Structure formats: C-alpha cells, structure tokens
Structure 1
C-alpha cells in the first residue's frame, strides 16, 4: 500500500533523507488545514548533491538497452494503476482537488508516461551525404544530460510528469523541484513511482524546499543543460533570463488569459456546458482555463441567463465529497487576490450577476458581465472560479478582443459553421485553440505551448523528444581530403 507518510523526505541519490536545512516546510490540506507532512527543507548543498547524483546516474542510464528503458517506464504506469485510489486520495488532500479532477489528472499522467516510454526506441539518427568525395555525415540524437524541472501547484502530478517522463525517456537525468504547496503530488510521489519502476539510483532526484532557502542555485547550477519551468509568467520570465544567462535552454509553460468565443449560431446549451467546464474545473486554477467569455450580442442575454443558472448549481465544499465540483483554492492569499480583482472589476463598471461567497480559501463562482476589454479582470489571469463576460458584434471584433492580451496560450470558439470557426481561430494569436470544444486540452502526441507571454517552446510527442535531446554531427572521411595548400 502507498503510504503518504513514506513520501515525507527528500529523494536524493536514490535515498529518502532529510534536507540539511533547519527550516521546516509544512504540507497543509487546503480544505481542513490539517498538516499532512512536515519536511526539513533542502539546502543549496542538497541541490548540488542531487545534480551530481543525476549526472553520475545518467551515464549508467545511457548504457541501458532501449527496450529495457521502455519496460521501466511502462512499469511506472502499472504502479499508478495499482495505486490509483491512494493517489486519488493524495490529490484530494494535498491539492483540494475533487475526485473528478483527480481522475482527470491521473489519466493525463498515464498517457504522458506511455508516450515517453516510446522515446528510447525513437532516438534516431541520420546519415547525410557530403559535398566532399568519400565522406559521410552522421547525425546522432543524444540525451541533453541532466534536466532541471520546476513544477506548479495546480496540476502538479501531471505538470511535473509532463517534463520528467519525456526527459527520462530521452535518456536524461532529472532533478525535480515541486511547488512548496504540493511537494508530494508534484514531487516525492513521482520519485516513489519511478523508484518502484526500477530506474537507476540517483537518476531522478526530488528537492523539497522554498526559493528563500536555495535562492537561484537550482537554475544556476552548472550541471543541468535544460530548465523546464511551469508557472506564472512573472516568475517564468525571471527563470528564463537566468537560464539563458548561464547558457541553459529554458522551456517555459506560463500563464494564460484564454478567450472562449460564442457566436450567435452556436449550440447555446452545449456552449454553456463547455464554458462551465473551461472555467470551473479545479476551481479555475488551470493555465488553460477560460478567463474571458466573448458572446455575440444576439445571444448575449440568453447565454448569461443559462450560464448563471449552471454556475450557481455547482456544489462548493469538501473535495472528498463526490458531488463537489469546486473545492478550495490553494491558499487564502489566492482567495484574497481574487476578492481584490472582483472588487476592482465592479469598481471599473462590471456587473456581478453572480457574486460568490469567499470564506477562507473557499471561493464560490462569480460571474462579471458588461466587462470591457480594458478592465483589469479582462487583462489579467484570474486563477480561480471568477469569470468575465464580454459582448461583441462582429467576427472581426471578437478576434480583436481575443488578441487584446499579453497572453496567448489556449482558447475555444463555438459556432455551427465549422470552417468559419477554423478561419477565425487561425487569426487568434494563441498556441492552441479549439473549435466547438473546451479551452482545457492536452494530448500526449500534440504540440503544447503558448505564444507571447504564455511561454517558450513546445512539449508532448516529438516536440518533447526534440526539447530534451541534442544532435551531434560526426563525419567520417573514408579517403583523404585534398587541401589547397
């Protein structure tokens, strides 16, 4: 049986041990405030030990037969299958995720590992012709070496695994730093899974700490060649610049301000359901969540009425209750930020047709209507169960409003005229957009990533393989070259 208490230490060089700091990190259930685990935090010395262990183990991993690597990754999926109920309980207790959210996240994780399990057999090279007689050019696809992964608190199991599994599959070592709010689901649980699957000791390391403890050492350390960060745009910008300063490749999956567009010919009931899922899944704490709903004026009032009724029906409460749709946001600071955004939106002229109660970090749905594109609620990422609705008249206006943001991650567009939807989607500056679907989509073989302030790079499938490998050119001259002097 998978025991939560067994996941309450650092995982460094294949050993479960305490961090060297005297500072304690308390892992708290966001719903009932129970302390689940307490960690002695990792220090800079622990970070150094983790990276050195990963580098040593990566040499060993590189020599493992690709078919055996595949088998090890597939064993990780089997372990998750065998312990799915325990993992579900951990997600509910550590994240405040509902049972529905847990099932959704675990499904994403298993698909991601299954895709990564194909990577050892896809490390293909090429032999290319040469302009010189008697010479051939060989291109070898090789692991980067060691990858540093920094993951967020919202979908930590999946968003950690989204980099960890492909990096391992491509032959790399990994050091993972989960968010301090979710050290188990985003970190030590993953270490346990791969430990049980049989990866070499030291290949994957998990550092549980706070940035105040280790400063910039996780990014600045000389060993990692790639830093994969998922989180806020503000922090991502800093990490990206720091990585580049030290000649490391940053992969940045950052914030969003997704537009959900409803045309006047849309199936309104279906659009309401899709927009509800796109905003309120996991309390709206998803980078791809719909932040702005744009509704064409002929159906604006009808959409609002239906959407309000649907949102008001969502049960708010204990994430362990199977009927709960909206559990707690991650902490009270996030709830206070949402309250401030709601207040500012109303002050700037928005109308609260549904004003949810906020108590502690329990936030009920709020719907702001008559929002204009220049309002703060329309420009900033609302990381919670708060949504703004904006009216528009023409296709051109909808596209202009959708593009009026520094972000460009996801989006959705609802219309019965599918080709019109596709043509509109092409004009919206975002990495992903979905016609007659939700804004929250992530598939293991489809390129995932954002434009503008929503990130740099693409993950999943062949794009992850590209990000976590490098190409080495080795030429072979079978004869002798003629020199001009």
Structure 2
C-alpha cells in the first residue's frame, strides 16, 4: 500500500483533511468520526462532523459570496469546472483508491464511477455559456423576457453507494449555473464523496466560500432543510429518509429534488439470448454488491427459458469471487457496514421461510456477502417487495406478457426497468405499460450517462429529474423581465 500512501501526499494528504471539514478552507471542528475501511476495519483518518450551528454559519457565508460568483463571467465559471475535471483525470489513481478503500468499491466500479463523475464536470462546464431564456410576445414599445436565474445556495445531501458521482452530479451543475453549494456527504464516505470534491474545486480556483463540504448526521441534514439561506435541497438516498427531507423542505418552502430507492425489474422474454440475459442480470444484481438504487431487484423470466436461465445464473453467481478489492482482484467487495449486511441476511432468511429456494450463496463473513440467488420467488415473498441493497438476485417466473407487466408494476417504487428480447418491437410495446422513470430495452437496469435526465416515479422520487437537460430546470428558476423606454402614466 506504499503507492497509495505516496499518492495521498500529492492530492489529498491525510494531514490536510483529518479532523477537519471544508468551509472554504480546511477548518477544525467536532465531534470527530473515524473514517473506516469496510474491508479491514482499518482507520484511515477522522472527519469533523458538522452540527446545526456550523451548517448555519456555512449557509450564511455561502449566501454572501454567491452573488459575486453568479456575476462572474461565464468563461470564469466554465474554466473552474474544466480545471476540476483535468485534476480529477490527473489524480485518477488516488481518487479511485479512496473509492476502493473507503467505499468498498471494486477497481472496476471505482474506475467507472470516477469516469462518470469526470464527465459530469465536463458537461457542467458547458452550462455557463448556454442560452437560458426566451423573448416573449408583448405590446409595442415593451421588451418582455423570461430568463433563468440561479437559485442562490443549494444544499446537497448525498449517499454512500456512489459517493463521488452522486454528489458531483448535483454539485457541478449547481456551481456552473451560478449557485453556491453546501454539500453534506454521508459520514461513511466523507472523503471520497466529499473531501475529494472540495479538493478538486479548491485546486481549480473556485472562490473560497462558494462550496462547503460538511460531513454530518441527521441533525446536520435537518439543519440544511430548515436554514433560510438554503433555497433548494437535492437529496439522494433512501425513500424513508427522502420522505423526511421532502416534508421538512416543503414546510420551509424550499425547492426539493428527491432521488430515492427502487425495486427494479428486469424482464427476460422467452425469445431472449439466455447467455446475454444472464450476463445482464448478474451485472444489474451484483455490481457494487447490489448497493445501487437502480440495482436489478427482480429478475422476471418467462417460463419457457426459466430453468436454463436459472442454471446459468447460479453458475455465474458461484463463480464470482468476494474479497478485499484493495488487495486482490475480486468481483464483489464488502458491504458498507454490519447494519447493511444484517439487513440483506434477514431478507434472505425471510425469503426462504416464505418459500423461496436458495439456489446459490446466502453466506457472509465479516462484511463480505457471497453472490446469492433466490429462485421461485412469489409475489407475496418479502424478497419480492423489499429493497435489499445487497448482492441478491431475486428470480421470479412468469407465463404471459400480461403477467410480466403485472409483476413489474406491483411495487410502490418506479425508478428503473429493463426488458431483454430479440424482438425490439415486442419489448417496446411491453415497455409502454411499465410504470418507471427509466426504461432500457435490451440492457439491464443500472444505467446513467450524465447527459440524460434521471429521476423516478412513485416513491422513487418526487417527479423531478437531475442530469442532462434537466439540470438547468433544477438548479435555476424563471424570472420575468420587462423593459420600457419610459414609465407609463397610469390613470389612477
């Protein structure tokens, strides 16, 4: 690990951030929480957790400098984003190491996450020069305009599972469009999901105080939703937590964007290539140990190919190695903590008690959970209903296309669904009947390319989207502006 230690001295040395938070500079705070490597339980440092008082101070400070940042020439703002992207590329190895060690990512997942986070910076760099407004019809002698203006200070609350990207996809466009940002990363991934971002923008020349990174617990998040200087909350996380955030933000009349959980179905029709379908199902179920909101939570397989599909999926699952991704080449790393491991183990046990067949896996040691297959899962089974957030493939047989639609739509969630078939027209017709925010034909459920609007329906979100063309809608608001050559003489 000497190469990792040397790398941290270049970009993000431990002495810079340990025991700190970022409020435009690296400042001491408290209380302290250890940064723990889930694969080994090794302590990598400490972060200072923000309390409501620190959130209030940061929000006020961000509001003071936001106007000057919004008034900066568009090329100035774009240049900061471009330099941040270049820094991410230059320090890719070190940033990926943090995703592996702190987040439990495999090297493959860490590399993919850094790549998409860097793309988010590049895409955001194009936003400052975008035309954002319309000329409206009006009476002679008056110019009527509708233009998009920054919201002010945006609060971002991000999760542990894709900590760098799911924070960056909000932070980067919000900054590019002239907002200041207060980011509260999950305290379990405060370095790779928070301090990496702070360091990128610090070195890229973002004016001090425009970005604050404050690791914290629920009280810090609650303070963000209540603070009068925060005009919007962008939250990514569980549906239960999202309900609380949405309720609190609504009470304080803040704009709120919620990207929440999912129980996502992959439908495999009987004309599908079975080997390709298994490859897609395994990727969607086991990538990052299943700790993804878009993970394939149900694999619905038509009865004619069900036995062959299950046999091949079991073979695939049993071939996947689990271990410490920082020290060996593995397909699955650790779950984030014991609570998540126990949650997955409970659902697997409950599923078997309700009649599901444990066809592969089901075992764990420390935080390492083997790739698992639950077969013959019924609609009434808890594994059919609950979001597992673990490496568990839930396989459900069906007979007709109507059955597939009924099963897929039988959930309160509606984030991502996918269909695999050799007949694209057939898949599209079936897809039109699915209640989902994201739909993929001949692919699996885990997809995000930065340039696409991303959002769910049902309890997977509140009808908003983030990413691509949705970013201007999310991180700005309309202002109506009229101009006359002379004020009129009204009759009163």
Shorter chain as denominator, the TM-score bin is: over 0.9
What's the counterpart of residue 119 of structure 1? 127
Measured after TM superposition, the shift of residue 10 of structure 1 is: 3.9
**CA–CA distance in 2 between the matches of 1:144 and 1:168?**
11
| Cross-structure match for 1:423 | 429
**SS of structure 2 residue aligned to 1:181:** helix
Corresponding residue number in structure 2 for 1:79: 87
Deviations 1:250-297 (CA, angstroms, capped at 9, x unpaired): 100100100011000001101100111111010000100000000000
Give the Cα–Cα distance (whole angstroms) in 1 for the partners of residues 87 and 63 of structure 2: 26
Partner of residue 26, structure 2: 16
Question: Would the aligned equivalents of 1:7 and 1:189 in 2 still touch at CA under 8 Å?
Answer: no
**1:380-419 alignment runs, 5 A limit:** 380-419=386-425
- Contact 1:60/1:200, CA 8 A, preserved across alignment: no
- Which residue of 2 is the match for residue 141 of structure 1? 148
CA contact (8 A) 1:317 1:324 kept: yes
1:188 lines up with 2:198 in the alignment: no
CA contact (8 A) 1:8 1:184 kept: no
Deviations 1:303-352 (A, max 9, x none): 00000001110110011245201000000111111111011001111111
The secondary structure found in structure 2 opposite 1:345 is helix
1:171-204 CA distance string (max 9 Å, x none): 1000000001100011111000000011110000
The equivalent position to 1:198 in structure 2, one of 205, 208, 215, is 205
Cα deviation for residue 433 of structure 1 reads: 1.3
How do residues 236-255 of structure 1 correspond to structure 2 at under 5 angstroms? 236-255=242-261
Q: Matches of residues 12-411 of structure 1 in structure 2 within 5 Å?
A: 12-19=22-29, 21=30, 23-130=31-138, 132-212=139-219, 214=220, 216-321=222-327, 323-411=329-417
Report the CA distance between 1:375 and its aligned residue. 1.4
**1:3 aligned onto 2:9:** no
Residues in 2 aligned to 1:55 and 1:85: alpha-carbon distance in whole angstroms: 35
Preserved contact between residue 23 and residue 214 of structure 2 (Cα < 8 Å):
no
Deviation of 1:134 (Å): 2.3
Could you list the per-position Cα deviations for residues 101-131 of structure 1 after superposition, in whole angstroms to 9, with x for gaps in the alignment?
111100110111111111101152222111x
User: 2: distance between equivalents of 1:67 and 1:419?
Assistant: 45
Q: Which moved more, 1:153-162 or 1:116-125?
A: 116-125
Aligned length: 481
Q: By how many angstroms is 1:42 displaced?
A: 1.7
Query: How far did 1:479 drift?
Result: 5.5
In the alignment, does 2:475 pair up with 1:468? yes
* Structure 2, unaligned runs of 5 or more: 1-9
Contact 1:149 1:229 in 2 (8 A): yes
Q: State the Cα RMSD in Å.
A: 1.4
Aligned partners of 2:267 and 2:404 also within 8 Å = yes
Q: Distance in 1 between matches of 2:41 and 2:179?
A: 38
Structure 1 stretches of 5 or more lacking a match? Answer: none
CA distance in 1, matches of 2:213, 2:20: 6
- The CA deviation string for residues 334-388 of structure 1, in whole angstroms up to 9 with x for no partner, is 1111111011001111111113311221100111111112211111111010121
Three-state SS of the structure 2 residue aligned to 1:120 is coil
Q: How big is the shift at 1:236? A: 0.2
For residues 214-234 of structure 1, give each alpha carbon's deviation from its aligned partner in whole angstroms, at most 9, with x where no partner exists. 472121011111100000000
